[in-house]
Amino acid sequence: MKKVSKAVFVDFKAGYSKAFRILFDLHHHAILQHAYGFCHQREEAEEIVQDAFTQLFVYRDRMRDEESILPFLYAVSKRIAISHFRRKIIREEAVTYTAERALRNPYDTQETVLVKELKDKLEQIISELPQQQQKVFVLNKLDDLSYQEIAEQLALSKNTVKNHLTVATKTVRVKLQRLMYLFF
């Protein structure tokens, strides 16, 4: 394994992009293999690696020395992979649940009315969001696009997309919780 020079590490901690690129080139393959071991999909592994290196850059001030970089990347990529896996499982369970409910009793009028009301309320809540948050929320939660895909589509930075999504999700969640309380 190649070692990072002290000078590159110091430049990286100072925020120089060339130093970051050297670290990226040095560790990219190892972290990609690590992430691929979790998800077994190249595109998803690449996204995990991208997120891990983003975290490395964001938290570069916490790095004690050049030897702490690779363990940090391994730990963060594992955490991100687990998070991706959880979201995937939740999505699959929701699809299965919805399909089972539709097959069970398609003529359950009360439930159909309730679901329609909830759907209408959700659409109303989403429409009340600021325009940019609304776009980001719909593209991520309903169209299932990644931060990177949304950023490219809307010509925003990935962090801006993340910030819009965080605020929008929190707003929708709070309003839905109030609504669910009233319904039930």
Could you give the domains of the chain? 6-84 (1.10.1740.10), 107-183 (1.10.10.10)
- Is pLDDT of 125 > 80? yes
First-to-last C-alpha distance (Å) of the chain: 59
- Higher model confidence: residue 90 or residue 35? 35
Q: Residue 1 above 90 pLDDT?
A: no
Q: Burial of 80 by CB count in 10 Å (0-12 exposed, 13-18 middle, 19+ buried)?
A: buried
Q: How far is CA 2 from CA 19, 26, 56, 67, 70, in A?
A: 15, 7, 18, 11, 11
Looking at residue 141, what is its pLDDT?
84
* pTM passes above 0.75: no
Query: Residue 22: pLDDT above 70?
Result: yes
pLDDT at 2: 66
- Considering only residues 27 and 83, tell me which one the structure prediction assigns the higher pLDDT: 27
For residue 11, what are its two tokens?
């430049």
Tokens 């109030």 found at: 178
